[in-house]
A and B are shown apart, each in its own frame.
Chain A
Amino acid sequence: MSKVPVFNLYMGCSVPANYPNYEAAMLKVAETYDIQLEYMEGVGCCGSPNLRAIDYLGWLTINARTLAIAEKNGHDIVTPCNGCFGSLKDVYHFLKHDANYRKQVNDILKKDGLEFKGTITPRHFVEALYTDIGIEEIGKKITKPLDGVGIAIHYGCHLLRPIDVTEFKPEFLNDLIQATGASVVEYPLWKQCCGATVLPVDENLAIRLARDKLKSMKESGAEFIAVVCPACGNQLDLQQLGLKESYGEEFNLPVLLYPQILGLALGMTEEEVGLNMNRVPADSILNHLTG
């Protein structure tokens, strides 16, 4: 029993509201590998980079609060959202090193009987899969491997950078994709932002960024896109509809959340991973399942 990895599950606000299929597929994948995910009590939104921009102390406090709650039971946090991961990891990293702000934040948290100590680590769900379960174990349970179909990975900025904060290597996700039997398509703009973050400020710019990215993937021979973030997923999926409507430009690149891909390879049904919620129809992935 003691070997079962236990995590505090931090959902943030975007996944539950916009991507329940991500949430469901993640929970089922976790169950398959005996990962115990416990929804955190009394937490909410991370505030996003927008809060960080206008209210640094508020942003630090709200995320330090989440970390402090997790510290009470001592289990690391996992989250499926790059935005939440970026916020939590950045705050964790910063407060560990900055005694002044740590004191300011803890003075506020004290009223709720909480204190940030930095004793647990916030992690992305896919990194926990990679590290705590491992590629070999993941591979053992796959019953319907993909047939080598080419998948372009959009890692997402806040998963990869700043590297000294996120400590996430692109190889983690490459290996996770390859474990499902799919192949990873390299494309020149793999590092580039999807544009989701400027959506509230400049929609046209956001569309252009998504277009560049999609074009680069398509030209490199990708048939599907894998993402691990609701904001990136939404942007790359939804903008394809917009690009088709406004410019008649069709990329036809279904955007799948990683647990959906892994889930299907583990033998889950398309209903279980919520394939019907994808905007760009993603059923064609089923044709690539073997076994």
Chain B
Amino acid sequence: MSASNPVLIIGAGVAGMTAAVELADSGIKAVLVERQETVGGNALDLYKAFPTDDCFYCFEGNRWRPGIRKCFYRSALIDQPNISLKMNSEVNTISGTPGQFTVTLSVGPQYIDPKKCTMCGLCLEKSKAFHLISPQCQPQAVVYNPSINDDGAKQAEEECPTKAISLNAQPTEEIIKVSDIIIATGYHEMKPVNMDEYSYGKHPNIITQLELAKIIDPNGESNGVPLKPSDGKPVKRVMMVQCVGSRDENYYPYCSKICCVFALKHANILMQERDGVQVSVVYMDIRTYDRYERYYHTARESGVEFIRGRVSLIQPREDGSLDIVVYDSLLNKYLKFSVDLFVLSSALEPPEGTNKLIESLGLKSASGFVGIADPKTENEVIVGDHIYACGTALGPAEVPESVTQARAAVSKILQSRK
């Protein structure tokens, strides 16, 4: 009987984690498969997520859960017996029929047992093979890079106080039966290497918004002080440019939806919380829909400079700064700036492998993302028979939207099992 089978969730970002926890709490087993070494997806790199400017783990809706501040998913993902978390793992094949899928998984080697690791830091001192992705990482454990297999690593394995390290761990293949599939594969931030007008990849001080998020994260290398990647000196002038690869028929025709708020959030942090940083934003339309208008308002109030126009020319200087000429279409003049950091609000694109997934499951494609099965209905999380999608797997979305969609998918599954 299919109802007793677990649900497969592909991707442990915001949407996938939410779905897993909600299902588990409702008594349904969930297999949560994540390609990377930590859960959290792209959101893990955002130290402040809109709309609450809080750590993204801690949304209002989750606060009823005991002990949730900062650690809601930590306990749930590791300790909830209904969740089976597969890190470093990928879905290989899916066969069978709706309601009774057979899934083969490549499960990466478990070098570190997250149930034992206390993140004491001993192994980090012994060898560079170990590192901590982020204090917020989930599972709460260090990660091991097998390509650096040095003596220090072996020592760490022996001396680990909780015996959490197993350097000989091997990858395995698992075959599981699932009743439903939730696709929560998220997005990838486009690396605009082909748009030569922006010189991305050719100069260290030309970066994307997600790269900026890491630079200004208080938990990051410079404790959130914005430093120039070129020479580590403080950043004084930042320019951001919107709609890079989005709303562009040569790349992605859709509006990536969150880049405006994303950029404004960063602009506000830089202007209000970092010393002496001036930010300019080059835009063609500012789309701060719904309640996000306040980010735009705050940005204007805190002195962010808005230029309605497009970038004409970038010329790097020897000191690492960039001379940028922008055409201001409101003024009908060209403006020249000298900036330390040039930040591209790059399009959200479907992550690698999405096409393969869409094809193998016979789903619809919506500009490369997973398309909903019947666009006429309002069932926007149903993408196939016993197949659901939520979060940015469906296309650009913000965190609360992803959470809502994850819950909607869960509720559909619960209804189908009644």
Contact = CB atoms under 8 A, between A and B. Distances in A.
Contacts of A189: 313
Interface in A174-188: 186, 188
B314 interface: yes
A186 B313 CA distance: 15
A191 B313 CA distance: 11
A188 B196 contact: no
A173 to B, nearest CB: 15
B312 to A, nearest CB: 11
Chain A CB within 10 Å — which of B196, B314, B315, B316 has the most?
Answer: B315
Nearest to B196: A191
Interface string A184-204: 001011010000000000000
Nearest to B197: A191
A96 B315 CA distance: 40
Contacts of A188: 313-316
A189 B199 CA distance: 12
Give the size category of B's interface with A. Answer: under 10
Contacts of B313: 188-189
Interface string A245-269: 0000000000000000000000000
Contacts of B202: 186
A189 B316 CA distance: 12
Contacts of B315: 188
Interface string B296-315: 00000000000000000111
Contacts of B196: 191
Chain B CB within 10 Å — which of A186, A188, A189, A191 has the most?
Answer: A188
Nearest to A187: B315
Interface in A146-197: 186, 188-189, 191
A218 to B, nearest CB: 14
A206 B372 CA distance: 54
A166 B196 CA distance: 18
Nearest to B199: A188
Interface in B193-245: 196, 202
A210 B389 CA distance: 55
A199 B196 CA distance: 27
A186 B203 CA distance: 12
Nearest to B313: A188
A192 B90 CA distance: 46
Contacts of A191: 196
B325 to A, nearest CB: 11
A189 B196 CA distance: 11
Nearest to A163: B250
Interface string B335-373: 000000000000000000000000000000000000000
Contacts of B316: 188
Interface in B265-322: 313-316
A191 B316 CA distance: 16
A188 B316 CA distance: 8
A188 B196 CA distance: 10
A188 B313 CA distance: 8
A191 B196 CA distance: 9
A189 B202 CA distance: 14
Contacts of A186: 202
A66 to B, nearest CB: 31
A213 B1 CA distance: 73
A164 to B, nearest CB: 10
A186 B196 CA distance: 12
Contacts of B314: 188
Interface string A4-22: 0000000000000000000
A186 B316 CA distance: 12
Interface string A28-52: 0000000000000000000000000
7 contacts: A186-B202, A188-B313, A188-B314, A188-B315, A188-B316, A189-B313, A191-B196
Interface of A: 186, 188-189, 191
Interface of B: 196, 202, 313-316
- 7 smallest beta-carbon distances between A and B, as pairs: A188-B315, A188-B313, A188-B314, A191-B196, A188-B316, A186-B202, A189-B313
